[in-house]
């Protein structure tokens, strides 16, 4: 067979390139004749590396330029941390594949304290996420949440320099980069609900590119895809981005979708939590369940947070 070529668009961070290389290896193992190249694309989120995400409009910050490259046929597929991918995609693009989820939970990293409960009163905790901030302040209102941006190595360096008593990072990225030994506490989802899609990779392609679609769909993980469909439908119905603290986590076992949703005010003083179990058979039925949870939480009073008066 004549050689065929695919170009992957990726951010240039160590974690992004690790994820892109994982997809590249997977494609080449499945299709040895494929020539797969990774093209690094700098995004707005990379350029504005120090500003708080909620202040610079987080939705699409890490994806917009890569999607433009896709639409311009400069790359054939994009590999995203799925939590960074907006729920509404540009016309002509599709979320073709969702990979098997790594650990979706958040982690506390600390050089002195074993868990969140051991952090002293007024402890400085670093995170760039309003979602994490709101939930942490809900049960530890004394904590001093401080902005922490940068790649994983930069964040670890700031912790080791003593700028924080603890920092919060996603388990998935730490595991993928070989830093699982730095995890002090893996935080249960019931205490710190993850970001929608956290731990999974999303592969985005052009809708009309049948060749690429057929290839990347071989990397799809059905149960993860169904679970994340519920989470993304939940978030889409709420219209939330980085400016509203919204969290959602779902898992599928024996066709039963177990889902947790959290909507909170940034200061953590208001927090709505809901859980549900639903029998599902597809991504479509899971998405319906996600919308139903969102509707129920809005009716219970979360509307005031999502769309404040």
Q: Which of 134 and 3 is assigned the larger pLDDT?
A: 134
What mean pLDDT is reported for the chain?
Answer: 92
The confidence score (pLDDT) of residue 242 equals 54
The confidence score (pLDDT) of residue 63 equals 87
The confidence score (pLDDT) of residue 1 equals 38
- Chain segment 258-288, per-residue pLDDT in tens: 999 999 999 999 999 999 999 999 999 999 9
Catalytic residue among 84, 103, 209, 274: 84
User: pTM value?
Assistant: 0.91
**DSSP per-residue letters across 69-100:** HHHTTS-SEEEEEGGGS-SSPPTTEEEEEEPP
Asked if residue 4 has pLDDT above 80, the reply is yes
- Chain segment 81-118, per-residue pLDDT in tens: 999 899 999 999 999 999 999 999 999 999 999 999 99
Classify 104 as helix, strand or coil.
coil
Asked if residue 2 has pLDDT above 50, the reply is no
Asked if residue 46 has pLDDT above 80, the reply is no
Is 84 marked active-site? yes
User: What is the share, in percent, of the chain residues with pLDDT greater than 70?
Assistant: 92
The confidence score (pLDDT) of residue 143 equals 97
The confidence score (pLDDT) of residue 153 equals 93
- Chain segment 133-192, per-residue pLDDT in tens: 999 999 999 999 999 988 899 999 999 999 999 999 999 999 999 999 999 999 999 999
Cα 302 to chain centroid, rounded: 22
The confidence score (pLDDT) of residue 154 equals 93
Task: Give the pLDDT mean for 65-86.
Answer: 95
- Chain segment 112-123, per-residue pLDDT in tens: 999 999 999 999
63-88 residues labelled b (16+ CB within 10 A) or e (exposed): bbbbbebbeeeebbbbbbbbbbbbbe
């Amino acid at each position: 067979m004549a050689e065929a070529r695919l170009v992957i668009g990726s951010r240039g961070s160590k974690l992004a390139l690790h994820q892109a290389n994982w997809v590249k290896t997977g494609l080449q193992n499945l299709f040895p004749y494929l020539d797969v190249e990774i093209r690094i694309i700098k995004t707005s989120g990379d350029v504005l590396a120090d500003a708080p995400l909620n202040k610079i409009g987080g939705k699409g910050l890490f994806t917009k330029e890569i999607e433009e490259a896709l639409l311009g046929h400069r790359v054939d597929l994009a590999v995203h941390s799925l939590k960074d991918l907006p729920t509404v995609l540009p016309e002509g693009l599709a979320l073709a594949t969702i990979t098997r989820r790594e650990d979706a939970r958040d982690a506390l990293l600390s050089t002195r304290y074993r868990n969140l409960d051991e952090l002293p009163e007024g402890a400085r905790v670093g995170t760039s996420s309003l979602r994490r901030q709101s939930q942490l302040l809900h049960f530890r209102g004394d904590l001093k949440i401080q902005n922490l941006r940068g790649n994983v190595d930069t964040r670890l360096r700031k912790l080791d320099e003593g700028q924080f008593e603890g920092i919060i990072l996603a388990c998935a990225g730490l595991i993928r980069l070989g830093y699982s030994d730095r995890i002090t506490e893996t935080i249960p989802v019931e205490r710190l609900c993850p970001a929608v899609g956290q731990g999974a990779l999303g592969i985005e392609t052009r809708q009309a590119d049948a060749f690429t679609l057929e290839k990347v769909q071989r990397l799809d993980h059905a149960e993860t895809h169904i679970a994340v469909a519920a989470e993304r439908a939940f978030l889409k119905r709420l219209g939330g981005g980085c400016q509203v603290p919204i969290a959602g986590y779902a898992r599928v076992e024996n066709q039963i979708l177990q889902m947790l949703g959290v909507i909170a005010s940034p200061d953590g003083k208001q927090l709505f939590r809901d859980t549900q179990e639903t029998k599902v058979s597809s991504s479509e039925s899971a998405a319906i369940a996600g919308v139903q949870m969102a509707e129920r939480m809005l009716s219970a009073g979360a509307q005031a947070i999502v769309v404040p008066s």
